[in-house]
Amino acid sequence: MEEVDVEPTTTPIPGIDSNQKHLGFVWGPGDILVYETIYKVSGGSAGGCPFVHEVRKDEDIYSPILRKLFNESHHIFVGLQRIREDLPSKNKKPQFVSISKNYRSVIRACMEELQQVAVSTQDAALATQYGNQVSILLAVELIWNLCEVLFIDAAPAGSLLLHLLDWVRLHKADVDEKAGEVLASESPAEHQAYWDVVISYVLQGRMDEARQVLVKQAALQPAARAMFKLLDNLLKKMPIFNPGETQTLTEFDVKWRHWREEVDRCLQDQSFASNPHLEIICKILVGDEDVLLEHKELLSTWYHFLVTRLLFSHPTVKSTELHYYAQSSMHMFLDTRSVPEPLDSILLAAFEFDIHQVIKDCSIALNNWWFVGHLTDLLDHCKLLQSHNLHFGSNLREFLLLEYASGLFTHHSLWQLAVDYFDHCPEFGRVYLELQIERVPLDTERKALKVIRICEQRQMPEQVRSICKIMAKKALRNNRLGSALSWSIRAKDAAFATLISERYLQEYCAKGTFSDLDLIDNLGPAMLLSDRLTFLGKYREFHRLYGEKRFSEAAKLLLSLMTAKIAPRSFWMTLLTDALPLLEQKEVIFSADQTHELMFCLEELTSWKSVPNPDRPMQDEDIETTKIELLRLALARNLAMAIVKEGTVEV
């Protein structure tokens, strides 16, 4: 057995003391059911707990706000699968990046909505729950964004740092908030957070904004004007790589080195010695790591430190070198004693380009598969996961998507979304769908029709049959023979159609009339599904013909029902009795040949019936004998008339 990656967490079940009681459980697709068992070798039943507990792994799926995340991302997911395989990869990259951004904007939208309700809700417990969800989404978006920069966009040196800066700016937006607060105050330059704001801007490489704020201070200190001017100039001149221009990376590098030497010179000259704040800024500009580390509060995270460090020391960093700086930054920033949080190790793994570690750690840290499923799918489309094979299931992408979709399928309403996910899992998706779709609870016919349509579109006749059969059974239980028959015709279920036809025939024998004529009269080719159904339809046709006084056609049909063995033997007596009024008509309807055949049928029936049935009461036996007598008489008379008629030569 493999080692576990993390110790599993314990979920206490209210009302059950697991030290004293024993628990049994059953796996479900999404949840598990837990019940108390009585573990005794012998002895009577001690009062056990009468409850079955349902333990859910994933609560988020039931949140109405996160539900939008699932729905909207489903839409994006389907769009991603439609990107054509044969496009040159050069054309695909911008599409993948924009899809990645779409996913992130959905996360952001959910986050904002959650934040709003978290603030407005009165319930403290609910507010914390929303708060937790927000922080999870924040982390998820942070990781996703980094993956987008590093793996999907995979920007070359130069541009890479720009993307990383954007990443840090987006996730450390409180600077703008603070800046707004400072600038709105009466005298911004004297605000206690003033220098924090300036330095934060510099740390994020937002030089123009830093300069704008610095102007306020410069205006207050006319004496130091030259010094402010100098720093302003340095900030202004700081070269920023511009991927749109024709400038090469080497040119940029040379330019940047020049600028840095200039800053260095200013530092050597002690140009800013009289103002400690300006001196700190200047030291930041040369990338003084000690000074940077003094501003941990403002940086707040090691990855901010990393990006700032790169900005001022290695602006042309290549993606392959990132891991080295990332590791050292993390060690420098975090206390040696403190254990890195899961988020830290996930980000570090990303910087190390260990995609599988990122996915694995995320799977462990997050309580549902939404994030890893969608991210892995996107990375797989970018052809970044080819080399890796699992020793179970098919591949990583499919495995995660299947897990996610199975979770969705357990949801009361979201199961419809899961279908599309299964569709895009080439190896096992269909099997999963086949197993799950039959188990969707069906309350109404409309829902059943929707489920059947899903199956039909995917050529799953077994499942269609099974669902139709469920519906047919249900209709039969509710005594809706017509519906039951329609469903079994749709299921092409001959056995069930036979069963229902029997019921109709029994009903006819009991009541003497047919019910559901609208259905039986319009069976059409569906009649051929089962012999008994054919008989039902034909027998009803006989009654219609008889009713319309088309006697000879009716007689022919009646006879053929017996001679062609369509009618079950048990029904022959009824058919022969039906022939009686035809035989008693004034004109001859059955020809001599036909009468012979009828007589033959009657003899066959009586010889077959001659085996005495001990269960039958004598009275029934008597009626039967009388009937046969009557029939024989009628047949003989008809035969005589027919022979006379046929023998008469019309003049």
- By C-beta, is 331 or 447 nearer to other proteins? 447
Residues 6+ apart with CB under 8 A from 85: none
> Nearest distance from residue 445's CB to other proteins, in Å?
5
Residues 6+ apart with CB under 8 A from 400: 359, 363, 369, 372, 373, 376, 377
Q: Segment 33-52, which members bind other proteins (CB under 8 A)?
A: none
CA dist 452 to 117, 305, 447, 459, 487, Å? Answer: 39, 56, 9, 10, 12
- By C-beta, is 419 or 582 nearer to other proteins? 419
Please tell me the distance from the alpha carbon of residue 501 to that of residue 223, in angstroms, as a whole number: 107
Retrieve residue 203's tokens. Answer: 């740390």
> Nearest distance from residue 170's CB to other proteins, in Å?
21
Q: How buried is 596 (Cβ within 10 angstroms: 0-12 exposed, 13-18 middle, 19+ buried)?
A: middle
Contact between 439 and other proteins per CB under 8 A: no
Contact between 526 and other proteins per CB under 8 A: yes
Contact string (CB under 8 A) for other proteins, positions 1-30, x = contact? ------------------------------
Reduced to 3 states, what is the DSSP secondary structure of residue 433?
helix
Contact between 326 and other proteins per CB under 8 A: no
Out of 57, 356, 450, 569, which residue is the one contacting other proteins (CB under 8 A)? Answer: 450
Retrieve residue 248's tokens. Answer: 């090469």
- By C-beta, is 77 or 144 nearer to other proteins? 77
Contact between 67 and other proteins per CB under 8 A: yes
- Is the separation of the CB atoms in 591 and 642 below 8 Å? yes
Reduced to 3 states, what is the DSSP secondary structure of residue 419?
helix
Please tell me the distance from the alpha carbon of residue 329 to that of residue 579, in angstroms, as a whole number: 101
Contact between 552 and other proteins per CB under 8 A: no
Out of 229, 388, 447, 550, which residue is the one contacting other proteins (CB under 8 A)? Answer: 447
- By C-beta, is 144 or 514 nearer to other proteins? 514
Out of 84, 446, 511, 549, which residue is the one contacting other proteins (CB under 8 A)? Answer: 446
Contact between 510 and other proteins per CB under 8 A: no
Degrees to nearest 5, angle at CA 450 with 445 and 454: 145
Out of 192, 479, 610, 648, which residue is the one contacting other proteins (CB under 8 A)? Answer: 479
Contact between 72 and other proteins per CB under 8 A: yes
Residue type, 202: V
- Is the separation of the CB atoms in 529 and 555 below 8 Å? no
Cα-atom radius of gyration of the chain, to the nearest Å?
42
DSSP 25: E
- Is the separation of the CB atoms in 123 and 83 below 8 Å? no
Partnered with residue 54 across adjacent β-strands are 33
Out of 430, 465, 480, 609, which residue is the one contacting other proteins (CB under 8 A)? Answer: 480
Retrieve residue 457's tokens. Answer: 């579109």
Q: How buried is 3 (Cβ within 10 angstroms: 0-12 exposed, 13-18 middle, 19+ buried)?
A: exposed
Contact string (CB under 8 A) for other proteins, positions 198-237, x = contact? ----------------------------------------
> Nearest distance from residue 123's CB to other proteins, in Å?
18
Closest residue by Cα to residue 379 from 103, 158, 88: 103
- By C-beta, is 440 or 630 nearer to other proteins? 440
- By C-beta, is 386 or 479 nearer to other proteins? 479
> Nearest distance from residue 616's CB to other proteins, in Å?
32
Residue type, 396: L
User: Which segments within 386-469 are labelled E, that is strand?
Assistant: none
- CA 560 to chain centroid, in Å, comes to 56
- Kindly state the number of chain residues that form the binding site for other proteins, as judged by CB under 8 A: 41
Contact between 547 and other proteins per CB under 8 A: no
Q: Segment 75-94, which members bind other proteins (CB under 8 A)?
A: 75, 78
Contact between 108 and other proteins per CB under 8 A: no
Contact between 444 and other proteins per CB under 8 A: yes
Contact between 242 and other proteins per CB under 8 A: no
Contact between 420 and other proteins per CB under 8 A: yes
Number of residues that this document lists for the chain? 651
User: Which segments within 127-270 are labelled E, that is strand?
Assistant: none
Contact between 65 and other proteins per CB under 8 A: yes
Contact between 445 and other proteins per CB under 8 A: yes
Stretch that binds other proteins, among 13-21, 163-171, 232-240, 413-421 (CB under 8 A): 413-421
Out of 123, 186, 208, 443, which residue is the one contacting other proteins (CB under 8 A)? Answer: 443
Out of 162, 347, 414, 589, which residue is the one contacting other proteins (CB under 8 A)? Answer: 414
Q: What is the contact surface with other proteins in residues (CB under 8 A)? A: 64-65, 67-68, 71-72, 75, 78, 412-414, 416-417, 420, 443-447, 449-450, 453, 457, 477-483, 486, 489, 515-519, 522, 524-526
